[in-house]
Chains A and B, each alone.
Chain A
Amino acid sequence: MIAALKRRDEEAFAELVSAYQHRVFTVVYRIVGDREESEDVAQEVFVAVFKYIDSFRGESKFSTWLYRIASNRALNRVKYLKRRSYKKHQDFEDTSDATLHASATPNTLGRPDEHALGNELHAIINAGLATLSEEHRAVVVLRDVEDMSYTEIADALEIAEGTVKSRLYRARAALKDFVDARYTPGKKDHSQHPDTPSKS
């Protein structure tokens, strides 16, 4: 597959996009928060893969390389949207970080599809994710959506493993506080034995 991509084989590229498009989009969307912007970023990611596939040396897994591109592009887009939003609002004295953040992630908060499904906890968690910094969000997304190890996340985001852990712990604690303030859990079965960890 990689060799075919390096030959710019169009069929191989189509296969690659079909295989990864939804996963890449999910990661990008969870970081960026806006569907239209995320679709554009996802397109950029695959265009970049097509252009720069020669720079993939096989030192890491291809998916890690792909998610490195995706997360970098998504984080850059969030920064760009914040800058653009700041320029638009710089004349207003009351422009706050929260306003900037909300404008950068407008579709994540209170998404109607989740309310329609009645999935209250998921809706609250999505809203909670939107309140995290994009760097923390990126770590949670790669860990939870893509089930990546600390090492793979560190490789994808080009940060130290300790930083990955630190961000993940902070994000999980912040999400828990956010949800606790908004969600009343349902009836729990306390007879259940503490299960095995979520990650191996």
Chain B
Amino acid sequence: MNTPHEFEKAKRPEEVDLVEDDLLEDIAQRDLQFIAYLEDDLSGEERNAFRAQLLSDPVLRCEFDAFREIMHATQALKGERLPADFLDQVQARICSESNGRFFNPRAMYRSYIPYEAISAAMILLMAAAWIALGTPHDHRIQGVDVTTPPQLHTSASTYRN
């Protein structure tokens, strides 16, 4: 079994893998032991040594119980409750920030449709229309000779107005 001195030696703060420049030297060694035990940061051997100390030293046990009470009370602090309309407030905020694109009760289409999907759908629609309808069939222009410039019919009446 480790003596208290051996335990403290084994439990130097730098061995707890703390931040490099913070060795916690200003914190009482006993408090560090309590925290390490309660946070389950001790090895099996260190844990057993500490338990033996607690059982054999009533003063240490008393201090440990006080520390544990504080730590348990901190963990047991009740959670905070939000107002019932919190979700409504969040949704209204998103609606406002998205210029009514989301969570807008007056919007016809409330679900999110990416711009890419809209673009692809429009292209497909136009392609389908082109395939279905084909190019315009205007029989009146089929016999026209497009290589000959159109004749301009000028007369005095053309310039009348």
Tally chain A residues at the interface, Cβ within 8 Å.
Answer: 55
In the complex, are the beta carbons of B83 and A47 less than 8 A apart? no
Contact at B80–A26, with CB atoms within 8 Å?
A: yes
Interface of B is mostly: helix
CB distance from A174 to the nearest CB of B (A): 9
Q: How far is the CA of A61 from the CA of B20 in the complex (A)?
A: 28
Residues from 3 to 29 in A contacting B, C-beta threshold 8 Å: 7-10, 14, 17-18, 21-23, 25-26, 29
Q: Could you count the A-B residue pairs with CB atoms below 8 Å apart for me: how many are there?
A: 150
Q: Chain B residues near A121 (CB, 8 Å)?
A: 69-70, 73
Contact assessment for B90 and A43 in the assembled complex, using a CB-CB cutoff below 8 Å: yes
The reply to whether B89 and A43 form a contact with Cβ atoms under 8 Å apart is yes
- Scan residues 47-63 of chain B and give those whose CB is less than 8 A from a CB of chain A: 51, 54-55, 58, 61-62
Question: Which of A21, A172, A188 has its CB near the most chain B CB atoms (within 10 A)?
Answer: A172
Supplied contacts A50-B94, A194-B61, A199-B40, 11 more A-B pairs, CB within 8 Å: A10-B111, A18-B87, A39-B83, A145-B77, A160-B19, A162-B19, A168-B35, A169-B18, A169-B24, A170-B24, A195-B68
Q: Residues of B at under 8 Å CB distance from A?
A: 16-20, 22, 24, 27-28, 31-32, 35, 37-41, 51, 54-55, 58, 61-62, 64-83, 86-87, 89-91, 93-94, 97, 102-103, 110-112
